[in-house]
Amino acid sequence: MPNDAIIYVIDDDDAVRESLEFLLKTAGIRVHGFESAMAFLEVLPRINAGCIITDVRMPEITGIELLQKVMDVKPDLPVIVITGHGDIALAVEAMKIGAIDFLEKPFDDDQLLNAVRSALDREADLAGRKAEVQRIQDKLASLSNRERQVLDGLVAGNPNKTIAFDLGISPRTVEIYRANLMTKMSANSLSDLVRMAMMAGILEGGKK
């Protein structure tokens, strides 16, 4: 779990909000409370990391409406919704919109802390993956057109001779381009290239 993560607690019930803030601070987790979704939405554009905990039933803007706005502005920001008894249908709706978890009142301290830590670990994994994909994209952009063509042939599983025939060049020239792109991509093996291609979305099965 990232040490600098901030948990944003949104609840119009002062007692509940302050209790959650105290629990999180006691666990060594940074927290910022908001008494309304409206107040939180004012700072949302400036938030790049952390986790949101929001009650479902709030005046003016409900937790469901807040969740929809968060998904529009910061879709990678994990959101945990808190529901009262009888609000399970709303919790399910929240999960469909994009919430990663929901807690039904009353919940114990460990349940909340485990949900928060899981959300932050997930966000850290996602942030790391996005950074790696960006690095791969930057390396791909450095390839010449011919090097990219050779890369496409390699990750498609074609041997040098087939790539050479398809491109109208000699197998020896393919070897040179292959060596160049391996260096530019910082790949130690063909399997490295395949993994990068999948992460960058240029190979079936990868994510863009």
Query: In CATH, what number is assigned to the domain containing residue 33?
Result: 3.40.50.2300
Question: How do residues 65-104 score in pLDDT, each as one tens digit?
Answer: 999 999 999 988 999 998 876 666 777 788 889 888 888 8
Report the distance separating Cα 116 and Cα 184, nearest Å. Answer: 39
Count up the domains in the chain and report the number.
Answer: 2
Of 104, 128, 152, the position where a domain reaches its end is 128
Quote the mean pLDDT of the chain. 87
Average pLDDT over residues 44-55: 91
What's residue 2's pLDDT?
57
What's residue 60's pLDDT?
87
Same domain, 86 and 57: yes
Q: Give the whole-number percent of the chain exceeding pLDDT 90.
A: 53
Contacts made by residues 83-86, CB under 8 angstroms, sequence distance 24+: 83/56, 84/56, 84/57
Same domain, 147 and 123: no
Same domain, 116 and 194: no
Provide the CATH number for the domain around residue 162.
1.10.10.10
Question: How do residues 122-171 score in pLDDT, each as one tens digit?
Answer: 878 877 888 888 999 999 999 999 999 999 998 888 889 999 999 999 99
Res. 206: pLDDT tops 60: no
Label residue 205 by pLDDT band (50, 70, 90).
Answer: very low
In a domain, 22, yes or no: yes
State the pTM of this model: 0.68
Same domain, 14 and 116: yes
- Reference 36, options 13, 15, 2, 19; nearest CA is 13
Q: At what angle do helices 109-141 and 14-26 cross, to 10 degrees?
A: 70
Question: How do residues 183-204 score in pLDDT, each as one tens digit?
Answer: 999 988 777 787 788 778 775 4
Res. 36: pLDDT tops 70: yes
Same domain, 115 and 151: no
In a domain, 165, yes or no: yes
In a domain, 137, yes or no: no
Same domain, 118 and 29: yes
Same domain, 54 and 111: yes
Question: How do residues 8-25 score in pLDDT, each as one tens digit?
Answer: 999 999 999 999 999 999
Label residue 34 by pLDDT band (50, 70, 90).
Answer: very high
- Reference 143, options 104, 177, 103, 109; nearest CA is 177
In a domain, 134, yes or no: no
What's residue 86's pLDDT?
64
Same domain, 97 and 17: yes
**Residue 96 domain boundaries:** 6-128
In a domain, 115, yes or no: yes
In a domain, 133, yes or no: no
